[in-house]
A and B are shown apart, each in its own frame.
Chain A
Amino acid sequence: MSAKASNDNLTQNLLQRAAPSRAEFEDLVIVPIFAVIVALAVGALVMLATAVDLPTIGRSYIALLQGSVGSLNALSETLTAAAPLVLAGLGLALGFRAGLFNIGAEGQIVIGGLAAVIVGFSFAGLPWFVHLPLALIAGALAGALYASIAGWLRAATGAHEVISTIMLNLISYRILDYVLRQPFIQREGRADPISRSVLDSAELPQLLAWIDPNLRVHAGILVVIAAVVVVHWILFRTKIGFEFRASGKNLDAARYAGMRASFTIVAAMASAGALAGLAGANQVLGVLDRASPGFSAGIGFDAISVALLGRSHPVGVLFAGLLFGALKTGGRQMQVDAGVSVDLIGIIQALIIVFIAAPLLVRAIFPWGFRKPQTEPNE
């Protein structure tokens, strides 16, 4: 064989991908599944400890299942609850990939939602295909701008984003209170702070109203799917995504490679804010119809768990968001059917996170689920 041919052969071999290893599969699939199972089991123990009898525990888990996926209505509720979690979670995941620990999704949801409401009740007479996108874009833009304040502070002064985004969350609540009392925003004839209603032309239409008008699932779910695809593309296919990931993994090497650290920080924060703002817009245009104090309902904080559980991967975030949406809707059913407090759902969510974050613990509990192929050093 000539030297050239053997060289071609070598490069062909080099281009081959190793089959996804068993370890990766365990990490991405088995650990999360087991984590959920252990969390449910510990949840049952907690109920036992609070003097709930065994039949009630059984009934409450059945209710959890039925309430989340047991009927068309349950599915519709699960999707409705999951949509904003996934959107905000995608934003946070993007930030995590870039090495930014953004706690500010909550505030960005507030500001984004507010902007979307204002656009949504103004501009009467616009056709829906102009008005709705306009309202969504307003939400994304406002969220992006609000988040870039923290990005800019970090890039220009080194102020850590964890602190500044927490502050911005608190500030956003006060902005909301203030704006909701402004005469052209507050609903006529109301003394409490509540905004006018979004016009029909800016509403995210219900998708299954033709089956039953009570099915709340709305077109926001399409926005979610588009967002998953776009974020995946940005992170893994574009130049800016490469810069995000490089800065997140090794800031020094990224700097040596000529990537602009401050630009990356601001861009990543802005993209994260845009997605959180979209989550806010999704809520006001699809579910709530108006803005009122506290309309963000802690979604921005749950989204942190969603992003972590989804391993900051767009597809992972989608599944994690669906799981958390299901727990939320199922939890309501659980309370109704079995009289168990919804706080239990909070406990279960927290336990899932704990077990996901401690894969070694899960491995220790379920040794038979895992092989021990070694590419990582012993502890």
Chain B
Amino acid sequence: MDVELRGITKRFGPIVANAEIDLDIRAGEVLGLLGENGAGKSTLMNVLCGLYTPDEGNIIIDGKPVTFDGPGAAIAAGIGMVHQHFMLVPVFTVAENAILGIEPTKQVDYLDLAAARQQVNEIGDRYGLQVDPDARIEDLPVGTQQRVEIIKVLVRSADVLILDEPTAVLTPQEVEEFFGIVRSLRDAGKAIVFITHKLDEILEISDRITVLRGGRVTGYGDPKTLTEQRLAEMMVGRPVRFDVDKAPYNPGDLLLEVRDLTVLRANDEIAADHVSLEVRSGEIVGIAGVQGNGQSALIEAITGLHRPVDGTIIFDGQDITNVSVRARHAMGMAHIPEDRQRTGIIGDFTVAENMALNSYYDERYAKGMSIVWPAVATHAADYVADFDVRTPSVHAKASQLSGGNQQKLVVARELSRDTKLLIAAQPTRGLDVGSVEYIHGRVVAARDEGDGVLIMSSELDEILALSDRILVMFKGRIVAEFDASKQPVDRNAVGLAMAGSAPRAAA
């Protein structure tokens, strides 16, 4: 099935998110869609899958113009979308999620789960997407949840699959498996639209590339001849640097000391197992590891969101093991949380309110009992301009920002405070290459000024580019440490440690 978008324009009040966009999607092809944060990719795809009605322009399927008055109509026409943020019911099984809304039933509305299971298995066999139909979503790793999202679309017999930043949450191994699935779908004649900010991925998987900027199509590319450099330039309109300039490694006093920290998960499993680590001022320590090996729990314990069952945390010479989150903030700890939508921002609050979310009580913003909103707004405007958060106004709601700009909002908030220690979990998830360059620059600048930085990322390249020391976590323990301050660390060695192979001495 071929789909043409012709002259699509979509406005949100005064904002033009898409301006006269033409796009061709062809059966048996992977179309890579690339563009800066806020370029209008998600909006365009939401138009295609019926979630938004375009203000102008047509959608043409196999030569016939169509209009969708909702996602139901788009699905019926064979267009399915896997959204930037997952939409699964966590307490339902895979099979139940797959058939949600189109449940097969027998007499008296009896839910035919056997048929659902069979459908899931059939699709799994056909495209190499095996998942246990009876597993509960909340028990599955993110990579598998992603498969369920795809199965969900395929169960509705979609011929066009839209994948909005599907790899942002995947580990490198999962990405490889995922690409296998995408290829088998393409070979089965499906049309696929693939959105990502990772240039190597888009070059690897797509057959054609279309670049958006400021709501318009600004270029087309052939992945066989293009380089990452050239792509980045097409996207942000200037050359982008992928390496990071750092001052020579010159660590100062001990800033954070974690000793024998043990943290449990909600179900009393051990998440972090007697972890010890140190961060000095003026150094960046990176925690590498496949997701789900206890990094998140460790960070939540250090930032005070989760009480450890054992061990101590010493920050700036003080035992803070049992100190509140607020007190840790006040002592100079900044935290970029992993999941921006759930824990980083409040979507219904304005950009300005979100900028003050964890410092509304400090002398910049508060006077006595009250908050001085004009001061909040002017500060917020400065930070928004500094960090290039694309928003029409600081009084706009945070939920109206694009995914990447929400992330920039969180990073701007944490980096604009005067802090001593930055704890960053997935700080550049969903950011375009230009923004990644800028954020990395700011993190390194903080380190050069003498801040300590603890970074956790599932992106190995990010860890390698930034860290002075690298710790690898596996099954709740730190299994390897690498010194990256003098010469670059061997990528494969880190990868092996992440996969749990015998720990090696520091290189």
Contact = CB atoms under 8 A, between A and B. Distances in A.
B305 A256 contact: yes
Given A256-B337, A257-B358, A374 B52 contact: yes
Given A242-B360, A258-B326, A15 B53 contact: no
B343 A252 contact: yes
B395 A11 contact: no
Interface stretch (B137-145, B173-181, B269-277, B386-394): B386-394
Interface in A336-352: none
B236 to A, nearest CB: 18
Most chain A C-beta atoms within 10 Å of own C-beta, residue among B343, B345, B382, B391: B343
B286 to A, nearest CB: 22
Interface string B301-338: 00101000000000000000000111011000001010
Interface string A342-379: 00000000000000000000000000000001110111
Interface in A8-39: 10-11, 13-18, 21
B13 interface: yes
Contact of B50 (A18, A373, A378): A378
A249 B349 contact: yes
Given A18-B13, A18-B14, A239-B370, A378 B51 contact: yes
Interface in B353-410: 353, 356-358, 360-361, 366, 369-371, 373, 377-378, 380-382, 384-385, 391-396, 400
A16 B13 CA distance: 14
A244 to B, nearest CB: 12
Nearest to A256: B343
Nearest to A241: B371
B69 interface: yes
B395 A18 contact: yes
Interface string A245-283: 110011011111111100000000000000000000000
Interface residues of B, number: 53
A182 interface: no
Nearest to A6: B385
A378 B69 contact: yes
B503 to A, nearest CB: 33
B384 to A, nearest CB: 6
B106 interface: no
B53 A239 contact: no
Nearest to A255: B305
A240 B53 contact: no
B346 A249 contact: yes
Contacts of A378: 50-53, 69-71
A15 B383 CA distance: 12
B473 to A, nearest CB: 21
B382 A239 contact: no
A14 B358 contact: no
B357 A246 contact: yes
B408 to A, nearest CB: 14
A240 B369 contact: yes
Contacts of A257: 325, 357-358
Contact of B394 (A14, A237, A373): A14
B46 interface: yes
Nearest to A14: B381
A214 interface: no
B344 interface: yes
A238 B370 contact: yes
A7 interface: yes
A20 to B, nearest CB: 11
B324 A258 contact: yes
B342 interface: yes
A216 B329 CA distance: 54
Contacts of B70: 378-379
A238 B343 contact: no
Interface residues of A, number: 35
Nearest to B360: A242
Contact of B371 (A237, A254, A375): A237
A331 B377 CA distance: 48
Grouping DSSP codes into helix (H, G, I), strand (E, B) and loop, the B interface class, with mixed when no group exceeds half, is loop
Contacts of B51: 377-378
A260 B326 contact: yes
Nearest to B372: A237
A11 B382 contact: yes
Contact of B385 (A14, A255, A260): A14
Interface in A196-252: 233, 237-240, 242, 245-246, 249-250, 252
Interface centre among B326, B347, B370 (most CB of A within 10 A): B370
Contacts of B326: 258-260
Contacts of A250: 342, 345-348
A258 B417 CA distance: 15
Interface string B49-75: 011110000000000000001110000
Contacts of B110: none
B346 A237 contact: no
A260 B361 CA distance: 13
A239 B14 contact: no
Contacts of A374: 12, 52-53
A373 B335 CA distance: 38
A172 to B, nearest CB: 31
B36 to A, nearest CB: 17
Contacts of A242: 353, 356, 360, 371
A372 B91 CA distance: 36
Nearest to A10: B385
Among B13, B348, B382: residue with most chain A CB under 10 A: B13
Contact of A18 (B324, B358, B396): B396
Contacts of A237: 370-371, 373
Interface of B: 12-14, 46, 50-53, 69-71, 303, 305, 324-326, 328-329, 335, 337, 342-349, 353, 356-358, 360-361, 366, 369-371, 373, 377-378, 380-382, 384-385, 391-396, 400
13 contacts: A11-B381, A14-B384, A14-B394, A15-B381, A15-B395, A18-B396, A239-B369, A249-B348, A253-B345, A253-B346, A260-B324, A374-B53, A378-B50
Interface of A: 7, 10-11, 13-18, 21, 233, 237-240, 242, 245-246, 249-250, 252-260, 373-375, 377-379
Given A238-B370, A238-B371, A260-B324, 7 more contacts: A7-B385, A14-B393, A17-B393, A18-B393, A246-B357, A252-B342, A256-B343
